[in-house]
Amino acid sequence: MRHLLDARDLTRADAVQVLDTAAEMAATQSREIKKLPTLRGRTVVNLFFEDSTRTRISFETAAKRLSADVINFSAKGSSVSKGESLKDTALTLQAMGADGIVIRHHASGAPHLLAHAGWVDAAVVNAGDGTHQHPTQALLDAFTIRRHLADRGVAGSGEGFDARRGVGKDLAGLKVAIVGDVLHSRVARSNVQLLTTLGAEVTLVAPPTLVPVGVGTWPCTVSYDLDATLAERPDAVMMLRVQRERMSAAGGGYFPSPLEYSRLYGLDQRRLATLAEHAVIMHPGPMNRGLEISAQAADAARSVVVEQVSNGVAVRMAVLYLTLAGSGTAAPVPTSKELA
């Protein structure tokens, strides 16, 4: 795997390989010494043109646990704020010998440009571009779903964390509901592509004003009724953050009021009680508690929101390994002993 730019670039075999590699990475993180020598001598640059907490720290942690040297680049306070172009920034990183570049950018398509314009020789990983794609978020979501639901709910929360549960499996037969601000969500777009590639049935639930034009071409079902969708007993319910900052920038109102949105599309205590016993609650974060998700739902025993964050480190370790140390899709999945 040379780059990871788009969830659509991954075949089923590619996706399963990344998830299986992440399982091996996660298994190493239960040891007293978590650091691996796998990427010693490599340099990874976190090139972030947008604010981020979870994603940036997750990639930084992943690279450091693989023994890579990490450079964190923020647009604020850099030459970008003085007008430097993406090309000139890329050429600077190339001159400094970057082996891998993790990029988050407000413009959709920026990672593709960086990877294919010929400015850098480094592997490029998309950490989120505009409202377009966020492939590693989709991978960590798929990893979390598989760990809990690959055996259709037999993985209980009281059994302890087994990083290798579900290894080798896809998500065939599982139902996933993705609820909320689909219009502005790169997470929704990436998850629809990846989860369906892995065999899951995906339903998007949102008010009509928050459904993108052209969604009819996506490989999923669209619903405007959350209660009707929950009645179909989905295995996982993924709540999306209402991106009020993007709505304000567009200068429009997408729903009458926060109270109205919460009443129609929020996961509250009443809807929580209707979920299947084995169903899990997900959220990419940060959460707007009281808007798209209630405090009771966010903190429920079936909520895997915190686990998504920890799984993100393992998944990003796997992606960095496969782009910087692996040898393509034919490469065997490393075992935790080999990684050590």
Measured between alpha carbons, how far is 334 from 247 in angstroms, rounded to an integer?
44
* pLDDT score for 5: 98
The reply to whether 2 falls in a domain is no
Nearest to 11 by CA among 317, 328, 339: 328
For tokens 């730019």, the residue is 5
User: Are 204 and 129 in the same domain?
Assistant: no
Q: Is 31 annotated as a binding residue?
A: no
User: Does the pLDDT at position 154 exceed 60?
Assistant: no
* pLDDT score for 82: 61
The reply to whether 255 falls in a domain is yes
User: DSSP letters of 234-282?
Assistant: -SEEEEPP--HHHHHHHT--SSS-HHHHHHHH-B-HHHHTTS-TT-EEE
Measured between alpha carbons, how far is 128 from 239 in angstroms, rounded to an integer?
18
Q: Is 286 annotated as a binding residue?
A: yes
User: Are 116 and 233 in the same domain?
Assistant: no
Q: Is 337 annotated as a binding residue?
A: no
Secondary structure element (H or E) that encloses residue 106, with its range: none
Render pLDDT for 225-270 as a digit per residue (tens, 0 to 9): 999 999 999 999 999 999 877 666 554 578 888 899 999 999 999 9
The reply to whether 337 falls in a domain is no
* pLDDT score for 252: 58
What is the extent of the structural domain holding 209? 135-305
DSSP letter assigned to residue 1? -
- What's the pLDDT band for 161 if we cut at 50, 70, 90? low
The reply to whether 190 falls in a domain is yes
User: Are 17 and 77 in the same domain?
Assistant: yes
User: Are 160 and 293 in the same domain?
Assistant: yes
User: Are 88 and 172 in the same domain?
Assistant: no
Stretch 285-295: mean pLDDT, rounded? 93
* pLDDT score for 228: 98
Render pLDDT for 258-286 as a digit per residue (tens, 0 to 9): 899 999 999 999 999 999 999 999 999 89
Stretch 175-185: mean pLDDT, rounded? 96
User: Are 219 and 274 in the same domain?
Assistant: yes
User: DSSP letters of 4-58?
Assistant: B--GGG--HHHHHHHHHHHHHHHHHTTSS-----TTTT-EEEEEESS--SHHHHH
- What's the pLDDT band for 326 if we cut at 50, 70, 90? low
User: Does the pLDDT at position 194 exceed 90?
Assistant: yes
User: Are 120 and 258 in the same domain?
Assistant: no
Measured between alpha carbons, how far is 106 from 185 in angstroms, rounded to an integer?
12
Nearest to 12 by CA among 142, 194, 179, 180: 194
Q: Is 104 annotated as a binding residue?
A: yes
* pLDDT score for 66: 96
In the predicted model, what is the mean pLDDT of the chain?
90
* pLDDT score for 21: 96
Are 222 and 215 in contact by the 8 Å Cβ rule? The answer is yes
- What's the pLDDT band for 292 if we cut at 50, 70, 90? very high
- What's the pLDDT band for 322 if we cut at 50, 70, 90? very high
Render pLDDT for 96-127 as a digit per residue (tens, 0 to 9): 999 999 999 999 999 999 999 999 999 999 99
pTM over 0.95: no
User: Are 162 and 13 in the same domain?
Assistant: no
Q: Is 82 annotated as a binding residue?
A: yes
Q: Are strands 201-205 and 280-282 parallel, antiparallel or unpaired?
A: unpaired
User: DSSP letters of 191-230?
Assistant: HHHHHHHTT-EEEEE--GGGS-TTGGGSSSEEES-HHHHH
Residue 199 vs residue 78, higher pLDDT: 199
Structure tokens at 90: 């890329």
Close Cβ partners of 117 (under 8 Å, ≥ 6 residues apart): 87, 90
User: Are 201 and 295 in the same domain?
Assistant: yes
The reply to whether 259 falls in a domain is yes
User: Are 301 and 313 in the same domain?
Assistant: no
Instruction: Write the CATH number for 258.
Output: 3.40.50.1370
Measured between alpha carbons, how far is 121 from 303 in angstroms, rounded to an integer?
41
Stretch 311-334: mean pLDDT, rounded? 80
Q: Which of 28-32, 33-37, 155-159 has the lowest mean pLDDT?
A: 155-159
Stretch 303-322: mean pLDDT, rounded? 96
* Helix-helix angle 12-28:135-149, to 10 degrees: 70
* pLDDT score for 30: 82
User: Are 163 and 301 in the same domain?
Assistant: yes
Q: Is 54 annotated as a binding residue?
A: yes
Measured between alpha carbons, how far is 83 from 273 in angstroms, rounded to an integer?
52
User: Are 269 and 178 in the same domain?
Assistant: yes
The reply to whether 339 falls in a domain is no
User: Does the pLDDT at position 95 exceed 50?
Assistant: yes
Q: Is 55 annotated as a binding residue?
A: yes
* pLDDT score for 33: 87
The reply to whether 260 falls in a domain is yes
Domain count for the chain, please give it.
2
Q: Is 111 annotated as a binding residue?
A: no
Phi, psi of 103 (to 5 degrees): -120, 130
The reply to whether 336 falls in a domain is no
